[in-house]
Amino acid sequence: MHSKEQINHDDYQKTADWLLSQTKQRPLVGIICGSGLGLLADSLKNPELFPYADIPGFPQSTVQGHAGRLVFGEMKGRSCVCMQGRFHMYEGHSLGKTTFPVRVFKLLGVETLIVTNAAGSLADGYHPGDIMIIKDHVNVPGLAGLNPLTGPNDDKFGPRFPAMSSVYDKGLRCLAMDIVKQMGVAQFVHEGVYAMVGGPNFETVAEAKLLHRLGVDAVGMSTAPEVLVASHCGMRVFGLSLITNKVVRSYDDEEQVNHEGVLEVGKMRSQSLQTLITQLVGRMDMN
Ligand code: 6GU
């Protein structure tokens, strides 16, 4: 399944050219909305909507809580494109399909990618509703070779062996911390390490303990592939996790995580998240 359906530069270009012919927006910022975080796209001014089904070459999304469309519009006067609904590996998409939109963003002219996701927390001191600014990630499928950058390298996008030691832009993380303090919400915002697992099942207790011991603060089923592809093609990356639940790390714990609960917490804190991202987009420096 993950072996090469080959996607060529032309495939990304065709999709990008079609979008550029349909909108006058020329976004420099791309935003990927995670599970239950689609409201973010609704705050764009002068929105132009493109259901994935209408976009030539685009994969189709299948998860509940994901609208499945691109939204072009303005945030603080800056042109943005939002994915309202992303593609996950667990849906059966190849990693090439999962990250297809990121390379299309690049060809649209996007220079900064903002990714959001819903995640379970492993760190002590994190609580449902908290926000984690992603400092770094552990790409669990990637460690085993499930990586969107495998296969022939497209030098037009980036190098064969990209460095990944400073992916989540420090300047943007500092700016976000500044904004968080000004918003008066610093008490529920952390900076931490995100781990991507393949899903679709949530973690066993033993897996949760393993990730915790590895220094992982929050775990989810997305983000790493898109971030790898964005970083590979030279985009500046900023990531946020909304903590929707604590990961069960004890055999005595009776609590069970479920997808509905994950979506519910998304609704609860979506306003703070939206304000944070809007401010960030308004204040980030641009070339
Ligand atoms: Cl507990 N685990 C994973 N893998 N993803 C999640 C989650 C947990 N909670 C929200 N997303």
What is the structure's pLDDT at 67?
A: 65
Computed over its alpha carbons, how large is the radius of gyration of the chain? 18
Q: What is the Å distance from ligand 1's center to 159 Cα?
A: 32
Q: Token pair for residue 189?
A: 């915002």
The closest alpha carbon to 222, from 66, 72, 42, belongs to 66
Kindly give the number of the ligand 1 atom that is closest to the alpha carbon of 121. Answer: 1
* pLDDT for the residue 201: 96
Task: Report the nearest-CA residue for atom 4 of ligand 1.
Answer: 220
Listed in sequence order, the residues at least 6 apart from 44 whose beta carbon sits closer than 8 Å to its beta carbon are 71, 72, 73, 74, 75, 80, 82
Ligand 1 atom 10 nearest Cα: 119
Pocket of ligand 1 contains residue 224 by CB under 6 Å: no
* Tokens of residue 120, six digits: 């379970």
Other Cβ atoms less than 10 A from the Cβ of 184: the count is 8
**Ligand 1 neighbourhood includes 266 CB (under 6 angstroms):** no
Q: For ligand 1, is residue 134 a contact (CB within 6 Å)?
A: no
Q: What is the mean pLDDT of each run of 10 residues along the chain (287 residues)?
A: 73 98 98 85 94 94 73 97 94 94 98 96 95 98 96 97 97 98 95 97 97 98 98 98 93 80 73 93 93
221 lines ligand 1 (CB under 6 A): yes
- Residue 27's H or E segment, with its range, is none
Residue 1 confidence (pLDDT): 40
State the distance from the centre of ligand 1 to the C-alpha of 141, rounded, in angstroms.
15
Question: Which residues are part of the catalytic machinery?
Answer: 35, 66, 88, 90-91, 118, 221-222, 245, 259
- SS3 at position 151: coil
The structure's pTM equals 0.95
Helix (H, G, I), strand (E, B) or coil at 65: coil
202 CA → ligand 1 middle, Å: 6
- Tokens 């259901």 sit at which residue? 51
Pocket perturbation via mutation, ligand 1, pick of 207, 210, 258, 262 by most ligand atoms within 8 A of CB: 262
Find the 143 Cα to ligand 1 centroid distance in Å.
19
What distance in angstroms lies between residue 272's CA and the mean position of ligand 1's atoms?
21
> Can you name the residues that pair with 74 across neighbouring β-strands?
45, 79
What pLDDT is stored for residue 161 in this prediction?
98
Coil, strand or helix: which one is 73? strand
How far is residue 178's CA from residue 167's CA, in Å, rounded to a whole number? Answer: 20
The verdict on the CB of residue 229 being under 6 Å from ligand 1 is no
